[in-house]
Amino acid sequence: MTVQIKILSEVELREPLLLAAWPGMGHVALKAFVFLHEALRAHNLAFVEEPEFFRIPGIAIQDGLVQSTLLPKSGFYYLKRNEDGNDLLFFVGDQQPVGGKEYHLASALLNFARSLGVKRVITAAAMPTAINHYQPSRVWLTATHEDILSDLSAYCDKVLREGQISGMNGLLLGVAKQLGMEGFCLLGEIPFYTTEIENPKASMSVARVLGKILSLQLDLRELEELAEETEKEIDNYLLELQQREQEEDKQTEDQEGPITVH
């Protein structure tokens, strides 16, 4: 099983860092890293298009006609910086790979990144906690090595000492450590009840912390506006959920009928 990485341009990077993200809870990682590579105007470098690594759920129909099947695409992007910071290599995946192929894909991506000089890997993820959707999203930190925790813990609110990070956003760091690379993951807090809802507030918190760590000049107003809109959408969602539950309770009471005492 070979992962085909199609290179679009040749480039030499100076001590590059790999920032990689896939969809996950709240789309925290994906939203943050897509925002970053677009805001920083990173350039296309390579893409991965492997049908056997992804599940194609169905087809699209438009105006009565079946559309061509669109395969999920995963791409590398690069940003060359001045002497004040490392060059950046982004990897953004449209979709998590099918079960059983995650490790193979992670190894191939990391080996490609290592061929470009990458030694440190950065990922992000969601951290579901008991906060509500109006509270600030704190950023938690975990890393492959203790010295990285010591260096970066001042930028974050808490260190995740025990737990799991599911999917490729977690696995990539484990495979990186196995390959002799180092790295860390920033986890943005989201409420337990919003794991299936996009959370730009958590993505913004992750992007802000990463901007400080990497000395990036970022304008986060786009994410801030999205976060405000999402708060309202969650309010409406919770209100509709409450009304639905009340209607279901009323229907249940009506079906039970009057109580007869003998």
Q: Is the pLDDT of residue 190 over 90?
A: yes
pLDDT at position 79 is: 97
Averaged pLDDT, 184-198: 92
Our count of domains for the chain comes to 1
Range of the domain at 46: 5-56+68-242
Averaged pLDDT, 100-120: 95
Averaged pLDDT, 232-243: 85
Give tens-digit pLDDT for 210-232: 999 999 999 999 999 999 999 88
Report the percent of the chain where pLDDT is more than 70. 95
pLDDT at position 260 is: 47
Averaged pLDDT, 39-58: 86
Give tens-digit pLDDT for 150-174: 999 999 999 999 999 999 999 999 9
Other beta carbons less than 10 A from residue 115's beta carbon: 9
pLDDT at position 21 is: 97
**How far, in whole angstroms, is CA 61 from its chain's centroid?**
29
pLDDT at position 1 is: 63
pLDDT at position 255 is: 63
- 216 Cβ partners below 8 Å, 6+ apart? 36, 40, 85, 210
Q: Is the pLDDT of residue 3 over 60?
A: yes
Averaged pLDDT, 32-43: 96
pLDDT at position 262 is: 45
Q: Would you say how long the chain is, in residues?
A: 262
Scanning the chain, the segments in alpha helix (DSSP H) are 28-39, 102-115, 146-152, 168-178, 200-214, 221-256
> Any bridge partners for residue 78, and if so which?
43, 89
Q: Is the pLDDT of residue 240 over 90?
A: no
Averaged pLDDT, 29-42: 96
For residue 41, being part of any structural domain is answered with yes
> Both tokens of residue 196?
């299936």
For residue 174, being part of any structural domain is answered with yes
For residue 62, being part of any structural domain is answered with no
Higher-confidence position of 71 and 165 = 165
For residue 255, being part of any structural domain is answered with no
Give the pLDDT band of residue 245 (cuts 50, 70, 90). confident
Q: What is the CATH number of the domain that holds 115?
A: 3.40.50.10900
pLDDT at position 254 is: 59
For residue 254, being part of any structural domain is answered with no
Report the mean per-residue pLDDT for the chain: 90
| Phi, psi (rounded to 5 degrees) for 128 | -70, 125
For residue 61, being part of any structural domain is answered with no
For residue 193, being part of any structural domain is answered with yes
pLDDT at position 261 is: 46
Q: Are 253 and 227 in contact (CB under 8 A)?
A: no
For residue 196, being part of any structural domain is answered with yes
